[in-house]
Amino acid sequence: MSGAGASQDSGVRLGIIAGGGSLPFEVAKAAQEAGHRPFVIALAGNAGKDIEQFPHAYIGVGQIGRMLRLLRREKCSAIVIVGSLRRPNLLRLKFDSGFVWNLPTLLRLMKGGDDSLMRRIARFFEERGFELRASHDFAPNLLAPAGIFSRAKPSPEAMGDIKLGFQVAKALGAFDIGQAVVVAQNYVLAVEAAEGTDAMIARCGPLNKWGVKEKRGVLVKAPKPGQDMRLDLPAIGPKTVELAAASSLAGIAVQAHQVLLADQAALVEKADSLGLFLYGARADEF
Amino acid sequence: MSGAGASQDSGVRLGIIAGGGSLPFEVAKAAQEAGHRPFVIALAGNAGKDIEQFPHAYIGVGQIGRMLRLLRREKCSAIVIVGSLRRPNLLRLKFDSGFVWNLPTLLRLMKGGDDSLMRRIARFFEERGFELRASHDFAPNLLAPAGIFSRAKPSPEAMGDIKLGFQVAKALGAFDIGQAVVVAQNYVLAVEAAEGTDAMIARCGPLNKWGVKEKRGVLVKAPKPGQDMRLDLPAIGPKTVELAAASSLAGIAVQAHQVLLADQAALVEKADSLGLFLYGARADEF
């Protein structure tokens, strides 16, 4: 399980700041199997119960002071941030004094597009002495492979849709917008911005079904051009496949080695049982 | 009411192929006032009752043969196509023999993005001897003016959002995608593809409301770069303003002279009563 990044480290005390979904558990498990010592800082209301199998503590999203104290107490030399995060309702957040001290910085963090937010979060930790790392440095097997990784194969028409999808994603990358597009029969059905991939796929159902029964159309998901690979990598999981099937899509294409696969075995099994293809496009392919 | 385009014509027998909304009626009225003789071909299930004030006939969306016969019988030398069109359910369409004869052409029309579809529709009519004209040739007052045309004025922050919105719309234009974007606080909330502007605005409500009460964010609507101005010009109307207000947006910006205003008096009144700004950006402004 140990990859290029992890093999250079030995026995790192790794702080895992854990959002929702299965990825935080998978990263902690892979890191432990590679000889590291994970400590999970679980974001309450987001992180799943499974992370409790590792040394851990819960914090609220507003408890920046507590988070920094925990990272110091546990002598974490590196940290990763992984998992989904519900956009906080600012009126309901519980703030600690660390939050208040860091408030000017945090307010600056909130303005502007997603990607620059990510870069500023990275700098925030680095200025406080923690090395921010990519979760796939410790769990390289979570990255999507190149080529077809399902039983179903993309048709020539689907390959055309995939190409158009990556072109649209690339054009949008300059604007810090979402990382996903749905294309069917050379027609862009939906573009993700702030609503998230799941909501975007869901609205494609009625748009994709005018009078035909066969599956068609592709979800394309890619990182932004120049994206900081340590933070907020796009991810797909079994639920993504279910939603794509419910909207009658023929398959999913991701950028190989730059998109995370959550719960990979279940994801592939789901795609195979529903007849969808899974495709990892190489960076130079489109 | 007569503008540059209309003044070159006198007493044109004008075939108005009418979809939904108030624009077909407004075009017919303006054309009649300018001395032309409109004949409305109303698309059943789309066109409103108000067009019955003019000489008219109803056709089904699949009745291409009947439409061409009517245009010839009425000796229409020019036609305009205006109004919204529900995407037809192919299984429920009633076809006539004209549809079947033209089927190979029509099937080619259905493939590919919106804008090339429009160009091919124009060619379809021109090859059959009808000059396709822009509806604003006959009703120039329907085009959005330049500058602020509401009581409320865009804030400097809103002007920044407008600029980003036009940049995104421009980047997407190359892909025949929708013509609208919502930006709030320098963050792209939503991008329109196949779902239509109304659905896109509606989903911005929850995305735009995390814990604040003041209005913010802008709907930006523009034609595609290089768009055929005779067909499918973007439009806004009173309902657009209502939806924008319901999603807590501060205003609406359109490309001046390239976006149609449906029911303009009611639109401006609605914006003024709800406190939204309306802004027409010049082509060289952003």
**Which of A112, A189, A210 has its CB closest to that of B193?**
A189
What was the pLDDT predicted at B6? 43
**What is the torsional sign of CA A118, A124, A125, A131?**
positive
Residue type at A285 in one-letter notation: E
Q: Does B203 touch chain A (CB under 8 A)?
A: yes
Q: Chain A interface, mutation test: which of B164, B175, B286, most A Cβ atoms within 10 Å? A: B175
Q: What is the pLDDT of residues A131-154, one digit of tens each?
A: 999 999 999 999 999 999 999 999
Q: Chain B interface, mutation test: which of A61, A167, A175, A218, most B Cβ atoms within 10 Å? A: A175
The whole-chain average pLDDT of chain B stands at 85
Which pLDDT band, with edges at 50, 70 and 90, does A95 fall under?
low
Q: What is the pLDDT of residues A159-217, one digit of tens each?
A: 999 999 999 998 887 787 878 999 998 889 999 998 889 999 999 988 776 545 688 89
Q: Does A107 touch chain B (CB under 8 A)?
A: no
- The answer to whether the Cβ–Cβ distance between B210 and A112 falls below 8 Å is no
What was the pLDDT predicted at B45? 87
What values do phi and psi take at A138, rounded to 5? -105, -15
**Which of B91, B171, B199 has its CB closest to that of A172?**
B171
What was the pLDDT predicted at B95? 61
- The answer to whether the Cβ–Cβ distance between A168 and B175 falls below 8 Å is yes
Alpha-helical segments (H) within chain A: 4-7, 23-33, 64-73, 97-101, 103-110, 114-127, 135-138, 156-173, 197-207, 238-246, 264-274
Which pLDDT band, with edges at 50, 70 and 90, does A245 fall under?
very high
Of all residues in chain B, the one with the smallest CA distance to A177 is: B188
What was the pLDDT predicted at A202? 92
Q: What is the pLDDT of residues A209-238, one digit of tens each?
A: 654 568 889 999 999 877 778 877 889 999
Calculate what percentage of chain A has a pLDDT beyond 70.
83
**Which of A167, A189, A199 has its CB closest to that of B194?**
A189
Question: Which has more confidence, A229 or A7?
Answer: A229
Nearest to B234 by CA among B23, B49, B40: B23
8 Å CB contact between B3 and B35: no
Residue-wise burial string across A177-216, b where 16 or more C-beta atoms lie within 10 A, e elsewhere: bbbbbbbbbebbbbbbbbbebeebbbbbeebbeeeeeebb
Q: Does A174 touch chain B (CB under 8 A)?
A: yes
Checking if the pLDDT of B112 tops 50, the result is no
Which pLDDT band, with edges at 50, 70 and 90, does A22 fall under?
very high
**Beta-sheet pairing, B131-132 with B147-148:** unpaired
Q: Does A266 touch chain B (CB under 8 A)?
A: no
Q: Which long-range CB contacts under 8 A does B68-76 form with residues at least 24 apart?
A: B68/B98, B68/B128, B69/B98, B70/B15, B70/B39, B70/B41, B71/B15, B71/B41, B71/B130, B74/B13, B74/B15, B74/B39, B75/B13, B76/B13, B76/B14, B76/B15, B76/B39, B76/B130
In degrees, rounded to 5, the angle at the alpha carbon of residue B235 between the alpha carbons of residues B60 and B105 is 40
Query: How many Cα atoms are found within 13 Å in the side-chain-facing hemisphere of A160?
Result: 11
Of all residues in chain B, the one with the smallest CA distance to A199 is: B203
**Which of A171, A203, A212 has its CB closest to that of B172?**
A171
Nearest to A176 by CA among B148, B164, B127, B85: B164
Of all residues in chain A, the one with the smallest CA distance to B88 is: A210
Q: Does B49 touch chain A (CB under 8 A)?
A: no
- The answer to whether the Cβ–Cβ distance between B190 and A187 falls below 8 Å is no
Q: Does A198 touch chain B (CB under 8 A)?
A: no
What is the ipTM score, two decimals? Answer: 0.80
- The answer to whether the Cβ–Cβ distance between B190 and A189 falls below 8 Å is no
Residue numbers in A near B113 (CB within 8 A): 186-188
Residue numbers in A near B171 (CB within 8 A): 171-172, 174-175
Three-state SS for A180?
Answer: strand
8 Å CB contact between B214 and B249: no
Q: Which long-range CB contacts under 8 A does B209-216 form with residues at least 24 apart?
A: B209/B248, B210/A87, B210/A88, B210/A89, B210/A90, B211/A89, B211/A90, B211/A91, B212/A90, B215/B245, B215/B248, B215/B249, B215/B250, B215/B275, B215/B276, B216/B157, B216/B158, B216/B184, B216/B185, B216/B248, B216/B249, B216/B250
Residue type at A276 in one-letter notation: L
Residue numbers in A near B180 (CB within 8 A): none
**Which of A91, A171, A193 has its CB closest to that of B188?**
A193
What does the alpha-carbon distance between residue B164 and residue B286 come to, in Å, rounded to a whole number?
9
**Which of A87, A174, A186 has its CB closest to that of B113?**
A186
Checking if the pLDDT of B27 tops 60, the result is yes
What does the alpha-carbon distance between residue B49 and residue A272 come to, in Å, rounded to a whole number?
51
What does the alpha-carbon distance between residue B270 and residue B231 come to, in Å, rounded to a whole number?
27
Residue numbers in A near B164 (CB within 8 A): 175
- The answer to whether the Cβ–Cβ distance between B207 and A199 falls below 8 Å is no
Q: Tell me how close the Cα of A52 comes to any Cα of chain B, in angstroms.
A: 30
> Could you tell me the CA-to-CA distances from B240 to A76, B163, B199, B270, B271 in Å, in that order?
52, 20, 10, 10, 10
